Chains A and B, each alone.
Chain A
C-alpha cells in the first residue's frame, strides 16, 4: 500500500479493520510508549 493511501486509510472516519484499529492506536500513542519497545525493533549488526 502506498504511503498516500495508507495515510488516508489510517485517518479515515468510520469503521476500520482490526489491523487498522491497532495501527491507529499506535498513531495515537505517546512517544514514550513506542520507545518502550524500541530495543526489540532491530537485530544488532545490520548496516
Chain B
C-alpha cells in the first residue's frame, strides 16, 4: 500500500469514522482525490532523511485539513461545485468541524513525540485560515490587505504540510519551523499563480463576477495607467466575452501580469535563499517545488522575447 493510501486508511480505521457513514464516505472519496500539496509532509521527510512510513499521520491530518478548508471555502464563495449543495449548509459546516477534529486526533494518537506540537500546528492552521477567509470576505482593496489575506489564507496550509512532515521525520522544532517558513512563502507564490490563472480564465471567473480584487485586478485598479478608466468600465461587463477580452488585454498592457510575475520571481529568489540556509540531508524534494513555481515564468519570458 502506498503512503497516501496508508494515510487515508488511518482515517478510515478511526473509531469515529467507522460509526459515522458521512465521515466514512468523505474519507473514502479522498482515496481517489489527493489534495493539493498532499505530498508536502513526504517531501519534508525525504529532505530530512526521515523514515517515510512514520509520516502517514501527517499526510492523513493534512488531507483532513484540506477537505475541511474546501468545504468552508465553497460555502463562503457560494461555489456551484460545493458539497453543501448536496449536504446542506449546516451539515457541510458540521462535517468541516469533524474533519479538523479527526486531524487532531490522528496526530495525537500517532504515538509520535511530536504529536502535541503537530496537533497545535493543525489548530493554528484552522485559526489563521479562518481569519484569512474573514479578511477575504471583507473584500478590502489595498496592497497591504491583499498580502495580509494571502499570508493568512494561503500560506498556513502549505507551511503546515512541511512542518508536520518535518516533525514526524524527527526534526526538532526549530528546524521544522524553518521548513514551515519556506512553505509559507510557497503559499504566497501559489496564491499569485492562482490569481493569474483565475483572471485569465474564459469565460469570466468568479473573481471578476463577484467584484473581487485578485492581484492582477488590484494592480489594474490602483496603478496610474492610461486605460484605468476604461478598465473600471469593463470591470462590470465581463459577462460579455468581448468586454472580458478587452479587460484581460488591459491586464497585460498595463503591466498587471508583469507585476504578478515580478512578485513571483522575487519570492522564488527569497525562497531559494531560505532553502540554502536549512540544514537538509537532500534539498532536491523542496527545490523541485520551486522549479515547478518558476517554470511557467520562464516559458512566458521565452514566448514573449522580442
Contact = CB atoms under 8 A, between A and B. Distances in A.
Contact of B248 (A4, A31, A45): A31
Nearest to A39: B197
Contacts of B303: 29, 33, 36-37
A26 B253 CA distance: 8
B21 interface: no
A34 B292 CA distance: 18
B131 interface: no
B194 A46 contact: yes
A10 B249 CA distance: 17
Nearest to B153: A47
Nearest to A8: B224
Interface string B189-223: 01101101110111000000000000000110011
A41 B296 contact: yes
B255 A29 contact: no
A26 B218 contact: no
Task: Among A1, A19, A22, find the residue whose CB has the most chain B CB atoms closer than 10 A.
Answer: A22
Task: Among A1, A4, A29, A37, find the residue whose CB has the most chain B CB atoms closer than 10 A.
Answer: A37
B interface, by DSSP: helix, strand, loop or mixed?
helix
Interface string B111-151: 00000000000000000000000000000000100000000
A12 to B, nearest CB: 11
Contacts of A34: 200, 252, 257, 300, 304
A25 B219 contact: no
A interface, by DSSP: helix, strand, loop or mixed?
helix
A33 B253 CA distance: 12
A27 B197 CA distance: 17
Task: Among A7, A26, A33, A37, find the residue whose CB has the most chain B CB atoms closer than 10 A.
Answer: A26
B108 interface: no
Contact of B253 (A2, A25, A27, A40): A27
Contact of B296 (A24, A28, A37): A37
A2 B253 CA distance: 18
Contact of B304 (A10, A19, A33, A40): A33
Contacts of A2: 143
A17 B254 CA distance: 19
Contacts of B248: 31, 35
Interface in B16-43: 35-37
Interface string B167-203: 0000000000000000000000011011011101110
13 contacts: A6-B259, A7-B223, A7-B255, A27-B258, A31-B248, A34-B304, A37-B303, A38-B197, A41-B200, A42-B198, A43-B36, A46-B191, A47-B74
Interface of A: 1-4, 6-7, 10-11, 19, 22-31, 33-38, 40-47
6 closest A-B pairs (Cβ-Cβ)? Answer: A42-B197, A40-B296, A47-B73, A29-B304, A45-B36, A23-B258
